[in-house]
Chains A and B, each alone.
Chain A
Amino acid sequence: MTRSDHETETLIRESLDRVAARAPDGDAVRDALARAGRKQRPGARLALVAAAVVVVVAGVITGTQAFTTSHLDPAASRPVLGYSPGRLPDGFTEQYREGGPGITPQVRRWFAGPAEITLSAYSTADPEWSRTALRIASIRDQILVHGRVAMVTGDTGGAALLTWLADDDHVLTVRVGGVPDARAVAQRIAEAVTPEPVGVRGELRFGALPEGLAERSAAVKGTGPADASTELTAADPARPSVPAVRVTASAGSPGVNGAAPVTVRGGQGFFVAPKPGETAMVAVRLPSGRWLTVAGPRPEAELVAIADDVQLDPAPDYRWLGRATS
């Protein structure tokens, strides 16, 4: 059955209005235009400097307020993850958190031996997840989570993946593996998920990055504080889902036998040339005894420059590692 022209036109207008509501704000475009305009018009520098002073002052005020009102700083290297499980099966401990700026997926993982639970949050502004509502609607295996239709995929008895929209902006998934009756377990976990934020504060932050790279994600992992590690990734903004450089800090040696000596952070470091299947890596032992590595398909000088500029956080938060929840 087809609808009338009037009904169709009304529905088209409403649907297009719905899409329009997802339009980005213009900040990024204004910034790009301002940068281009700066290159074109040196005479405008004075006004821009004045504007920059205002921005800096405002930034200091805003930054101070942010610092004093919340220790959860949503900076790229210290992301805030927006969701928490209200309940988990006995024996699971949290061993992984990852997030980043913008629409970078947020991931939390718990393990109990070989069994694993992963709670992930994605933005509907991410093209990979923008069609989730439609996809859920078309899938046969549906259940209700928080009163919303969710879909179950990959249900094999011992593993299941549950996907639902927490709201118009966020898609959540719970993946359960290595657990009997995984589907029911995933549903119980999903029903108890709350929008309670947790922070990710590792021991590293990016400093200056070479042109063509932008901060992508920060992750902390470990079975407990004793074997904790931090990993930052940066990516080409044109391909934000593909890490181009990985920076890690951990207790374990990265393996530098046969590596070429190179000065990193003012001391003795190592450059491991790329091998088939492996990218180039720069490594250096930090004064704390921990190892810093920077790896990726980039020139040696760039990897060294990234390592030189990385900032060490003296107070990482690894307390939650190895616990059920923070």
Chain B
Amino acid sequence: MRFEEFVAERLDGLLRYATVLTNDPHLAQDVVQDVLLRAQQRWDGIEAPPTYVRRMITNEYLSWRRRAVRRMVPSSHDVLDALGPPEADPSAAYDERDAMLGLLETLPRKQRAAIVLRYYENYSDAEIAAVLRCGTSTVRSQISRALATLRTAPHPAVLTTGAPE
């Protein structure tokens, strides 16, 4: 497959993957662009482009995020609690997916990458291990620990708008 054909066919999917990984559309665009520019330089020498490019994007995320975190709004629960502690009042309820995204943000980046590859890309343990360059037992361990954290996401609240009854 020529590089141009690969981009035409796969770019949108790569941008979605990178966005899910980074939770930042701008960073995702930067990462994908950097990776593809580098891949373009040596395209003829790449044996399995889809796997190679996805691995590159994942690696970029793991290194970029340390720098990017400085310009991101902190969103850990500790920070949010400091802004104003959540109350039992149902008007404070919010979408459970927002809560899940908040928990995903608290995961160590390798755990997040493993979760994204499993639940967004539907990769097997072996495929995840190939992208993250680790063993399948490590993959299972990362996902297990991540799920233990993510199971604590709150259940749906009765009210989501705070409207008085």
Q: Does A210 have its Cβ within 8 Å of any Cβ on chain B?
A: no
Q: Does A87 have its Cβ within 8 Å of any Cβ on chain B?
A: no
Of B19, B147, B153, the residue contacting A22 (CB under 8 A) is B19
How many residues from A make CB contacts under 8 Å with B? 49
Query: 8 Å CB contacts to A: which residues of B88-129?
Result: 91-98, 100-102, 104, 115-116, 119-120
Which stretch from A23-31, A189-197, A312-320 is at the chain B interface?
Answer: A23-31
Q: Are A149 and B33 in contact, CB atoms less than 8 angstroms apart?
A: no
Of A36, A37, A135, A144, the residue contacting B83 (CB under 8 A) is A135
Separation of A64 and B18 alpha carbons in the complex (Å):
37
> Whose C-beta in chain B lies nearest to the C-beta of A123?
B25
Q: Are A13 and B83 in contact, CB atoms less than 8 angstroms apart?
A: no
> Whose C-beta in chain B lies nearest to the C-beta of A11?
B100
Of B12, B37, B91, the residue contacting A36 (CB under 8 A) is B37
Which stretch from B45-53, B58-66, B69-77, B131-139 is at the chain A interface?
Answer: B69-77
Separation of A154 and B155 alpha carbons in the complex (Å):
31
Separation of A144 and B164 alpha carbons in the complex (Å):
10
Separation of A136 and B18 alpha carbons in the complex (Å):
26
> Whose C-beta in chain A lies nearest to the C-beta of B93?
A137
CB-defined contacts of A33 to chain B, threshold 8 Å: 7, 33, 36-37, 40
Q: Are A28 and B153 in contact, CB atoms less than 8 angstroms apart?
A: no
- The interface residues of chain A, by DSSP majority, are classed as helix
Separation of A280 and B125 alpha carbons in the complex (Å):
58
Kindly state the interface size class of chain B when it binds its partner: 35 or more
Q: Are B155 and A134 in contact, CB atoms less than 8 angstroms apart?
A: no
CB-defined contacts of A137 to chain B, threshold 8 Å: 86, 92-94, 98
Q: Does B142 have its Cβ within 8 Å of any Cβ on chain A?
A: no
Nearest-CB distance from A226 to chain B (Å)? 41
Separation of A177 and B28 alpha carbons in the complex (Å):
38
Nearest-CB distance from A55 to chain B (Å)? 17
Of B73, B100, B115, the residue contacting A130 (CB under 8 A) is B73
| A9-B15 CB under 8 A given contacts A2-B151, A148-B161 | no
Separation of A28 and B34 alpha carbons in the complex (Å):
12
Nearest-CB distance from A132 to chain B (Å)? 9
Nearest-CB distance from B29 to chain A (Å)? 5
Query: 8 Å CB contacts to B: which residues of A1-47?
Result: 1-3, 5, 8-9, 11-20, 22-26, 28-30, 32-33, 36-37, 40
Q: Are B33 and A125 in contact, CB atoms less than 8 angstroms apart?
A: no
Q: Are A134 and B75 in contact, CB atoms less than 8 angstroms apart?
A: yes
CB-defined contacts of B18 to chain A, threshold 8 Å: 23
Q: Does B165 have its Cβ within 8 Å of any Cβ on chain A?
A: no
Of B28, B92, B93, B96, the residue contacting A23 (CB under 8 A) is B28
Nearest-CB distance from B115 to chain A (Å)? 7
Q: Are A144 and B75 in contact, CB atoms less than 8 angstroms apart?
A: no
Q: Does A140 have its Cβ within 8 Å of any Cβ on chain B?
A: yes
Q: Does A128 have its Cβ within 8 Å of any Cβ on chain B?
A: yes
Q: Are B24 and A127 in contact, CB atoms less than 8 angstroms apart?
A: yes
Separation of A22 and B28 alpha carbons in the complex (Å):
10
Of A2, A12, A136, A142, the residue contacting B152 (CB under 8 A) is A2
Separation of A186 and B44 alpha carbons in the complex (Å):
60
Q: Are A19 and B101 in contact, CB atoms less than 8 angstroms apart?
A: yes
Of B20, B29, B85, B150, the residue contacting A8 (CB under 8 A) is B150
Q: Does B5 have its Cβ within 8 Å of any Cβ on chain A?
A: no
Q: Does A287 have its Cβ within 8 Å of any Cβ on chain B?
A: no
Ordered by A's residue number, 16 sampled pairs between the chains whose C-beta atoms are within 8 Å are A3-B155, A11-B96, A17-B120, A23-B19, A23-B28, A25-B12, A26-B12, A26-B15, A127-B72, A133-B95, A133-B98, A138-B86, A140-B84, A142-B92, A144-B162, A149-B162
Known: A22-B25, A24-B15. 16 other contacts (CB 8 A): A2-B152, A3-B155, A9-B119, A9-B147, A12-B119, A23-B12, A23-B16, A25-B12, A29-B15, A30-B7, A40-B40, A125-B26, A127-B27, A128-B71, A130-B73, A138-B84
